[in-house]
Structure 1
């Protein structure tokens, strides 16, 4: 699948947008096709044009919004004169209608990537109201090099997807750190505990991806009756403690996405 043709502009190039762009370049996107516009003029990869203001008498074919959602009302007025064929947004909580009311693009695609897109093992959820196959193909061409790219057909579910997949890596990182800290509490050195925790999560995740059973079943397969794994699972399972904690965690993230969506509608 080839990348979309024509100029691609990135408005903002922070951690996520920068990770996406670097992955696209590694996958063969021509850097001469890309312009990055940031207030600082920094952050663009080598070979990519980097500006602090919009180019005069130019227009992008693809325009990507890669700044913080809270900056939308400050930045959108500077883009209102543009008429890109495709507007891509990675702004969490900002709905398609809110984008359409500010920028008159021919088509809009919401993208919700997570941080592992930097190594091509991420999740980039996609949503659009457009039924044009060319629009969907262009979005898929940019999302596929980043990892899996599922389409979400109901925009009301996008906040939940963002909470799980978009925010999820941070929760996994926190779990890895807690697992390592627990190992330190049992007398392991911090270096060894972290190394073991990282390798354990990496291996378990890879195994779960190719397994013939869901993770809940895999956990029970590992845990022999009366064994040490079962004793540990008994703690996690008591009162559905882990399930309830994760439900509260994702609910908090989804709630914040909805708050940002409400603010963007005003």
Structure 2
């Protein structure tokens, strides 16, 4: 299979590294410096051969897509499969701009750059069974792939897993600041908070028990953890905050999609 990757930023590079050596990978990104090993640079889209089993992965910024769509229509006419990881560009907009019904929309998150992400994907109605299998295989090097029942779910996915890493980073920053306010040197507070964050994530991955059970294992009745959790859960504070976060991000995702 030949893969044309448009956009070789952090996410595009991570995908390309997973494909190199197994597929012919051509990269179109005039702004990119050194490309991942095993890939080829395409200087113009006119140089691309409309080979059999051509898959085009759109990893550019959404605002750049419009300027490229017209040049991609010729490849769409040659029955290329399109897989988009652009935020906010719906299947309908992709199909209309490209003149193709073979379009798939995916939402990875930033840990995908180190192969530890998760991607949600949804296929246009006219995609073939083999199109979904192809996209699944291409996205898998960055982490698990889940397929959505309908495109409306992608706004909630964007809010939860797409934006989610930033929430965890921000909470860790808040814990470190609180630790410093409680009397720890700032650098030590950050080291403790950051390592606790990564260690807890690793434990949650290694131990398949429900998160509520892992939480109970840390929480002695009447102890310090219980006191901290009572503050977190007072007036349903943590649940109300999470609800507001997901609602706000999902609503913005819907706005961007028009």
For the 8 Å contact 1:163–1:250, the answer to whether it is kept is: yes
Match of 1:42 in 2: 33
TM-align CA RMSD:
2.2
- Residue 55 of structure 2: which of 45, 59, 62 is its match? 62
The separation in 1 between residues aligned to 2:97 and 2:227, in whole angstroms, is 56
> Within the alignment, does 1:101 sit opposite 2:96 as a pair?
yes
| Higher alpha-carbon deviation: 207-216 or 109-118 | 207-216
**Relative contact order: is structure 1 or structure 2 higher (C-alpha 8 Å, sep ≥ 6)?**
1
Provide the C-alpha distance between the structure 1 equivalents of 2:182 and 2:235, rounded to a whole number of angstroms.
Answer: 25
Match of 2:159 in 1: 163
Deviation at 1:134, TM superposition (A): 1.2
**What is the distance in 2 between the residues matched to 1:244 and 1:257?**
20
- Does structure 2 retain, via aligned residues, the 8 Å contact 1:183–1:193? yes
Aligned to 1:186: 182
Gapped regions of structure 1 (runs ≥ 5): none
Q: Which runs of 5+ in 2 are unaligned?
A: none
Q: Would the aligned equivalents of 1:40 and 1:52 in 2 still touch at CA under 8 Å?
A: no
How far is the alpha carbon of 1:43 from its aligned partner?
5.6
When residues 186 and 20 of structure 1 are mapped into structure 2, their CA distance, relative to the original with a 3 A threshold, is farther
Q: Distance in 1 between matches of 2:243 and 2:199?
A: 25
- Pick from 161, 180, 197 the counterpart of residue 193 of structure 2: 197
How many equivalent pairs are there?
Answer: 253
Cα-to-partner distance string for 1:162-192 (whole Å, 9 max, x where unaligned): 1111111111111222222222223333333
Q: Which moved more, 1:85-94 or 1:75-84?
A: 75-84
Match of 2:202 in 1: 206
CA–CA distance in 1 between the matches of 2:246 and 2:19?
29
**TM-fit CA distance, 1:229:** 0.5
* 1: CA distance, partners of 2:48 / 2:86: 27
* Helix, strand or coil at the partner of 2:147: coil
Q: Which moved more, 1:9-18 or 1:233-242?
A: 9-18
- Report the CA distance between 1:9 and its aligned residue: 0.9
Q: State the match for 2:241 in structure 1.
A: 245
CA–CA separation in structure 2 for the residues paired with 1:44 and 1:154: 35
Equivalents in 2 of 1:183, 1:36: separation in Å? 46
1:176 is matched with 172
What TM-score do you get using the length of structure 2 for normalisation? 0.88
- 1:12 maps to 7
